Amino acid sequence: MDISPQRITDMANRYRSSHRAWHLTLAAVFVAEAIMMLRVGRHQWYFFDEWRLVVERVIPTAHGPNGLFKQLFVPDGEHVIAIPLGVFIVLTRLFGIDNYWPFIIANVLVRIGTLWLADDILRRLRTRRVARLLVVASLAFFGQGFESLFGQSIIFAGFTLVFCLLAIREMLKPHASQWRAGIITAAYLVGAIFSSSYGFPVVVGVSLYLLFTSRRIAAALALIVPPVAFLLVRALAGGSYAQQQPVAFGRLPLYVEYVQFGLAKLGEGITGLVGLGLASYVLLVVLCLWFGRGRQQAWFAISIIVSVVAFFGQASLSRSVFGAEQAGASRYLFFCGALTFVMLGVSWGQRQLDHRASIVAAALIVLSLAHSAGSLVTGSSYYTTKMELSRGRLAVGFVAAQRGVPLLVPDPDWAPDLYRDRLQAVLDWSGSDEFIAAGTVCFEHRLDELTAAGIDARSLSQRDQAALVLLLNEHAQGFGENALTIGGLITMGADGSSGSKVIDQFKDDYAMFTTELTMPSALPSLARCG
């Protein structure tokens, strides 16, 4: 064997070159992930549940709990979201509602942290580089988890997943004392359950792994400390959860169906084998047993499987009332998908696949990534379209409400929490000033458009002005055929055939306009506000 200095130098150079190429490839995945999220971020804005948080937690009003402690720890819906809620409050108060970019950037950072932790867990278990790269890439572009692209993801899956991965990373340290491992792991799990209820199933899985590895003290601390801390804080904070359905033994078949559907959608999302149902998740379990070599891989796989099954079981207790299909929610699949991808990578470990196994694995990976790509495009487009619609509605709706028009809800579809005194609280808040100022410009442009079409809109009452401006604004958002004239839009509004809940609020006003105004034949502008 040639062990000359030149030979050793050549081997070292090849290793450094390979090491550099690996880091560049991995970095490229991280950069591509960030770019994708920033591009999707251009179309994001405050959406649906976020408005409840703005009204009840961000703006100091009588609608939410008093005092910082209760503000953070009183449940929101079915979760205590104290940690991400703290970030939400700080960013919203600092930047107001006119700028959503701080949340987009925060979500990018959380996602990059998630990818890094997933890779670090695999690295600690000496997983082959190719497996690490595939896990990171699959997680980065996991199509069924498209909701994680949006800034509000940090409120649920984002922060909770980071804390859960930190706990998993800590439980894998073999040389730490039991007390140290238990205390640090428990601390991370406390962070997880104070980010959302998604963290509780992972408490069970992590404790089980520690027990498997004969660290009974650490397992006890990880299992007991988080729920005790949670119950103590909940007792001090008060408040109640939004109960969806009573827990009853007679509902057991509904719970089972919910869990099965969630596992099926998770398995189909990861493998890309749509239509295979629960068998797709069973396939993933079989692959873990096939790839896995050694007790550690088996214990890890069991702990993750228990966590995922417990996740859907926990969700079924309150959510199965909406039907088993709700278990396929994108935010659920992202959280459980991240844990499952790590499990697959750990099972692969250092194993080098033979020729046949490599062909099977390559086929599944290609199918999975292709399926994810389609789901990312479809899912992100579905929500960003609605976010843009909501922003355009509220831009003029806030102005109309500020001018004294008693609107029921400016956006009944995607901002249902903004009504009456709750809406007024947002209008009176200084953080809304810049957004309202921009909306005022759009509102005035619409009035000028009506004047140019032959309607002296500025001489009408504030309500009549708002009715006409909101009609034009909704048309620009896509309601009504493009060929309709302004007069045709008014007639459409009077008929109640627009399909818009905003327009329907002024149906009687439009009916009055058809008898009192000359219907303009001018075509309305399709330019959107904002």
Do 389 and 324 sit in the same domain of this protein? no
Instruction: Using alpha carbons, select from 374, 373, 381, 379 the residue that is nearest to residue 138.
Output: 373
237 within a domain of the structure (yes/no): yes
102 within a domain of the structure (yes/no): yes
Identify the pLDDT of residue 104: 95
Cβ-contact 472, 500 below 8 angstroms: no
Q: Which two tokens stand for residue 388?
A: 């843009």
d(CA 55, CA 6): 70
Do 106 and 235 sit in the same domain of this protein? yes
CA-CA-CA-CA dihedral for 169, 172, 177, 178, to nearest 10: 90
Do 249 and 394 sit in the same domain of this protein? no
Cβ-contact 386, 414 below 8 angstroms: yes
Identify the pLDDT of residue 103: 95
CB-based contacts of 324: which residues, under 8 Å, 6+ apart?
A: 254, 257, 258, 260, 261
Reading the chain (530 residues) residue by residue, the pLDDT tens digits are 455 665 555 455 555 566 788 889 999 999 999 999 999 999 999 999 999 999 999 998 767 788 889 999 999 888 999 999 999 999 999 999 999 999 999 999 999 999 999 999 999 988 888 889 989 999 999 999 999 989 888 887 899 999 999 999 999 988 778 999 999 999 999 999 999 999 999 999 999 999 999 999 999 999 999 999 999 999 999 988 777 677 778 888 999 999 999 999 999 999 888 889 999 999 999 888 777 777 888 899 999 999 999 999 999 998 888 889 999 999 999 999 999 999 999 988 777 766 666 676 677 777 777 878 888 888 888 889 999 999 999 999 999 999 988 777 899 999 998 999 999 999 999 999 999 999 999 999 999 999 999 998 889 999 999 999 999 999 999 998 888 999 999 999 999 888 999 999 999 999 999 998 888 899 999 988 76
364 within a domain of the structure (yes/no): no
Instruction: Using alpha carbons, select from 476, 422, 401 the residue that is nearest to residue 51.
Output: 422
Residue 294: which domain range?
Answer: 5-41+74-352
Identify the pLDDT of residue 6: 54
530 within a domain of the structure (yes/no): no
358 within a domain of the structure (yes/no): no
Do 293 and 344 sit in the same domain of this protein? yes
334 within a domain of the structure (yes/no): yes
Identify the pLDDT of residue 500: 93
Do 342 and 225 sit in the same domain of this protein? yes
Do 414 and 477 sit in the same domain of this protein? yes
- Map residue 79 onto helix, strand or coil: strand
Do 169 and 212 sit in the same domain of this protein? yes
- The one-character DSSP state at 410 is S
Identify the pLDDT of residue 482: 84
46 within a domain of the structure (yes/no): no
Number of structural domains found in the chain:
2
Do 396 and 496 sit in the same domain of this protein? yes
Do 346 and 394 sit in the same domain of this protein? no
Cβ-contact 266, 341 below 8 angstroms: no
359 within a domain of the structure (yes/no): no
Residue matched to tokens 């995945």: 29
Task: Give the DSSP H or E segment for 504.
Answer: helix 501-504
Do 319 and 278 sit in the same domain of this protein? yes
d(CA 236, CA 240): 12
pTM above 0.85, yes or no: yes
Do 33 and 90 sit in the same domain of this protein? yes
Do 124 and 204 sit in the same domain of this protein? yes
